[in-house]
Amino acid sequence: MPTPPPDPSFSVAEPQRLLLSVLSSLPDTGVVVVDPQLILRFVCGPALERRGWDPNATIGRPLAEVLGDQTAVYEPHYRAALAGETATLEAQDGPRDVYRTEFLPLRLPGDGIVGAIAVVRDITQQVEDRAALARSEREFRLLAENATDMISRHELDATFLYASPSVTALLGWTPDELAGRSACDMVHPVDHQRAAEALASLTAGAEPLTVRYRLAHRDGGWVWVETLARQVRAADGTQELHASTREVSVQVAAEAAEREAQERFRLAFDDAPIGMALVDLQGRFQRVNAALCDLLERSTQELLRCSFQEITAPEDLSLDLDHLRRLTAGEIPHYAMEKRYLAPDGTPIWAQLSVSLLRDADGNPEGYISQIQDIRERRRMQDTLQHLADHDPLSGLWNRRRFEEQLRREIARVRRHGAPAALLMFDLDGLKRVNDTYGHQSGDELIRAVSGAVRARLRETDAVARLGGDEFAILLPSLDLAAATAVAEKICATVRELSVPTGAATVTTTASIGIAMIEPDIEDERALLAAADCAMYAAKAQGGDGVAAAH
């Protein structure tokens, strides 16, 4: 189709041409001017060049010739502009590019409408940005509307801009009821200061913030929540707050219960009237109470610097460690024992120890909890009672029961090892005369004096007892008959030389001693005592103050 000649009536004044040139020089912009016959009279700008429009090749050509198959899309808008109207068109050109074209009438002073102007802008990036924003908003809505946490947007003063549907399950309110309402007005009065400080910190900086507080429920109650919030830039460039809020009532209750349990433990531990200690797996003290410090005569700092092994009496340590090994291995659930701790000066401190195993969250042993009770007074009473049970009150020597118990042990030892041992029995010649002449008090003083003198002549390993009346027994381990006879003769001499002043007079006496050797084939202690007793009476039958051996 031949190009029509230029319309001689079409002329763009210099100011308008300058303006068109300025517009067309803007990035992503192009300008097209057509005359009333839709002939291209001005073509310029980067947006058109990217579409393949060459100004030199298009000016003077009919619009339809240049537009080709897009003529039907664009030509009606050019014609509308020639009729004095304005219009805007967004259309895609190719697989990706999108252009916005604004159509305007071209008016010249005195001439009216002399053409149409099309200002073309490449809005591909804007369209993609809008699409990404729309996609992001859809995803946000999808996430918010299906999240169990309440998702919300707020102005910087905490006014709700949006609340997800989960707010109804959380607080009983609908999203519409919260729109335009300040979250600050819903905070529990006790928590208001903390929430206000968090809001001030949040609006002053960009760092995310987590705060725990109570929010009003629609039914009038309060719900413990935890909010993670941050300040973000909205699509329109303004700053707003985005928050995720979840209920933590169960967690708060659990933490309160844990704090209460810890406080109860602290009171039970720190204020317990008996010693309490937390000990690690190596035996070092990790925590102690005042009662334990008083018992062990050490400060808290001193105990925390040492282990229980360092202050345990050596005689009790191996048993304690064995119990501890079995406890750690799961062989026993706990253990208790009486043991001796050592005071700083080395004095033994008797205590009742009870130990249980502590485990971590995975069930692995992590330490021990120990209860240590002062039993020194009880031990003293036990020792006193045991002494009374084992000893003759008049002489202070073992009584018959305790002596026979030791005698059975010695018989068992002789049977096992074959080492010799001897049993001596003796009574005092003339004690009845002393009682009859000077009274039983003088006889008692004589018995006490003889008991002390005989005890002094024996070894630490020997045992001596008053069996009753004026009858005594001596156990001599690891001695043969000759050695036992020598000991018996020394005892006779000791008793003979003893003078005992009493209130009535100074009294003397002698002893008749019988010896029975402890042999592996001895029947029992009764047979042994009977043999020694017979030998003693044989010595007495020989005039007393002498020694006789059983055969």
Paired sense of beta strands 546-549 and 510-517, if any:
parallel
Structural domains present in the chain: 14-122 (3.30.450.20), 143-252 (3.30.450.20), 272-379 (3.30.450.20), 391-549 (3.30.70.270)
pTM: 0.51
| pLDDT tens, per residue, the chain with 551 residues | 444 454 544 555 555 555 556 555 667 888 899 999 999 998 888 878 777 788 888 889 999 998 888 899 999 999 999 999 999 998 887 777 888 899 999 987 777 899 999 998 888 888 887 777 777 667 666 665 666 788 898 999 999 998 988 899 999 999 999 999 999 999 999 999 999 999 999 888 768 889 999 999 999 999 999 999 999 887 777 889 999 999 999 999 999 898 888 888 888 888 889 999 999 999 999 999 999 999 999 999 999 999 999 999 999 999 999 999 999 999 999 999 999 999 999 999 999 999 999 999 889 999 999 999 999 999 899 888 888 899 999 999 999 999 999 999 999 999 888 888 999 999 999 888 888 888 888 889 999 999 999 999 999 999 999 999 899 999 999 999 999 999 999 999 999 999 888 877 888 999 999 999 998 888 888 889 999 999 999 999 999 999 999 97
DSSP string over 478-490: T--HHHHHHHHHH
DSSP state of 399: -
What is the token pair recorded at 18? 């300058």
Element (H, E) at 113: strand 112-122
Q: What's 4's DSSP letter?
A: P
| CA angle, 82 then 86 then 91, to 5° | 105
Q: What is the DSSP string of 443-484?
A: HHHHHHHHHHHHHHHS-TT-EEEEEETTEEEEEEET--HHHH
The identity of residue 299, as a single letter, is: S
What one-character DSSP code corresponds to residue 2? P
| Spatial contact of 477 and 495, defined as CB atoms under 8 Å apart | no
DSSP single-letter state for residue 105: E
Please give the DSSP secondary-structure letter assigned to residue 189. G
Neighbours of 492 (CB within 10 A): 20
Taking the C-alpha atoms of residue 531 and residue 546, their distance in angstroms, rounded to an integer, is: 17
Paired tokens of 425: 């029995």
Please tell me whether residue 355 adopts helix, strand or coil conformation.
strand
Tell me the C-alpha distance between 512 and 545, whole Å.
5
DSSP letter (8 states) at residue 155: -
Distance, CA of 34 to CA of 81 (rounded, Å): 10
CA distance 431 to 434: 5
